Amino acid sequence: MPQLDDTDLEILRLLVANARRPYSEIADKVGVSPPTVSDRIDRLQELGVIRRFTLDVDRSTLDAGIQVLIDVSTAPGTTEDVAESLASQNVVEHVYATADGSVVAHATVPEDAVHEVLEESVATENVESFDVRLLTDEQWTPEVSGTAFALECAVCGDEVTSQGETARIDGEFVAFCSSSCREAAAEEGQLAADSI
Amino acid sequence: MPQLDDTDLEILRLLVANARRPYSEIADKVGVSPPTVSDRIDRLQELGVIRRFTLDVDRSTLDAGIQVLIDVSTAPGTTEDVAESLASQNVVEHVYATADGSVVAHATVPEDAVHEVLEESVATENVESFDVRLLTDEQWTPEVSGTAFALECAVCGDEVTSQGETARIDGEFVAFCSSSCREAAAEEGQLAADSI
DNA sequence: GATGAAATTAGTTCAAG
DNA sequence: CTTGAACTAATTTCATC
C-alpha cells in the first residue's frame, strides 16, 4: 500500500471538517498548489481512504421513527454476512462487526419494526440472540488523528502507521510497523493461532 | 420547526450520496434552479439538519491503532455528560447515548489505552462498568430514507414526519404527527410519566 | 419563494520544470 | 511530483417575476 504523507493527512483533516472547502484554500493551508490538492484528493479516493464525500445529517430532526442500536449475536462464521445484510437495509446507517462475532447497527425504525428489519435482512439461523436499545443521542465527531497514541512496533520499536499490522498474542494486542516485522515475530513462534 | 418538503429531502439524498455534486446537477435532478438549491442548502444548515459537509474515511487504511466499540454503563443522570466527554476525545469518532443509560463509542486506540481514554475523559464515579469489543469491520451507509416504515399518528392517523413526537405508553412507543396530537393524548391520560 | 443573466469564484487541463 | 497559466465549470448576486 502506498504511503500517505503529512500533506495527505492535512488535506484529509481539512476535508473532514468541511468537505466543501475550496481546493484553493486547502492549497494555501497545506502549502501546495490547487492542482496538487485536486490530484491528491483523487488519489485518496482511488486508494479507498476517502470512501465518499457526504453529509453529517441530524436524523433526530429528519426521520420519522425511533433511533435504535441493534446488537446481534451471530452464528459462527456468519458475522460478515450479517453485517453486510444489515448494511444493505436503508434504515440502517452504521454497522460495526466485532471480533467476538456480534454486529452492532444504528438504525431508524418504528419501534415494532426491528424484528421486521432483522427478518428481511438476516437469515434467522444466523441470529443467536439480539438486543435493541433506544437511542437518546447520537453524535459523529470525525477527526483524522495526528500522532496521538502512536503505537510502537513490537519488533523494531518504530512508530506504527496505517501501513502497520496487529496481532493477538496470549490475548494481548501487539502492533508491528510492517508485514516484515510481523513475519519476524511469527517466525519466532510468538503469534497465536487467532492472530488477526 | 419549519417544514421540510420533498425538494429538501431529495437534495439531502443527493448530497449524502455525494456532497461535492455540483448544485447545477442537483438543480436539474430535483427540478429547480441552481440558486434555489444553494438557498435551500443554506437553510438546511441553519436549521441544523445538515450538521456538516464531511468525508467518510476508511480508518482501517489510515489510523495507527485498533478500532474498538466501548460500551460504558453510566451512573444515573450522568449519561449525557459521559457522552459529551467521550465525544470530545479526538480518538472517539461516533458516540451513541441510549435510553437505558449506557454510552457506546467507536474509537481508534492502542488496545491498552482504552482505560486511558476513559480516565482522561470521564469521571470515574460516572462509570458503573464498561466493556470493550474489538472491531473487525465498520461501515457507514447513510441514506435519507423516504417514506419506508412511515409511522402513523396514534391520534389522527396521519403520517408522522420529522416534526412528529413520540411517547412511551405502558412500555410501547407511540408516535404523534404533531405536539397538539400528543397533547390531546396526554389530556386523555394515556401518557406514562416516562414519556419522552 | 423562485428565477435567468451577469459577475465572481473555483476546478481542471496542460505544457513545462 | 509539482507548478503557473489558460481554460472550463460552478456558484452567488441581483434585478425581476
Q: What is the pLDDT of residues A185-194, one digit of tens each?
A: 766 655 543 3
B35 touches strand C (CB under 7 A): yes
Question: Is the shortest CB-to-strand distance from A22 to strand C under 7 Å?
Answer: yes
Indicate whether this model's pTM tops 0.85.
no
Query: What are residue B128's phi and psi, to 5 degrees?
Result: -80, -45
Per-residue confidence (pLDDT) for residue A77, from 0 to 100:
92
In order, the DSSP letters of B142-166 are -----STTPEEPTTT-PEE-TT-EE
So what's the pLDDT on residue B188? 62
**B148: pLDDT strictly greater than 50:** no
Neighboring chain B residues of A175 at a CB cutoff of 8 Å = 64-65, 110
- Using CB atoms, pick whichever of A53, A102, A151 lies closest to residue B18: A53
**What pLDDT is recorded for position A196?**
36
| Greatest pairwise CA separation for chain B in angstroms | 57
Interhelix angle B114-121/B79-88, nearest 10 degrees? 120
A150 to chain B: closest CA residue: B64
Architecture of domain B1-54: Orthogonal Bundle (1.10)
The x, y and z cell numbers of residue A176, run together, are: 508491528
Q: Are A8 and A45 in contact (CB under 8 A)?
A: no
In strand C, the nucleotides that come within 7 Å of a protein beta carbon are 1-5, 9-14
Give the integer Cα–Cα distance in Å for B170 and A176.
53
The structural architecture, per CATH, of the domain A59-134 is 2-Layer Sandwich (3.30)
User: Are A51 and B58 inside 8 Å of each other by CB?
Assistant: yes
CA distances from A6 to A2, A15, A152, A194, B109 (A): 13, 14, 19, 34, 20
- Nucleotide D4: closest residue by CA–C1': A33
Taking the CA of residue B141 and the nearest CA in chain A, the distance in Å comes to: 5
Give per-residue pLDDT as tens, B5-40: 889 999 999 999 999 999 999 999 999 999 999 999
> CB of residue A32 closer than 7 A to nucleic acid strand D?
yes
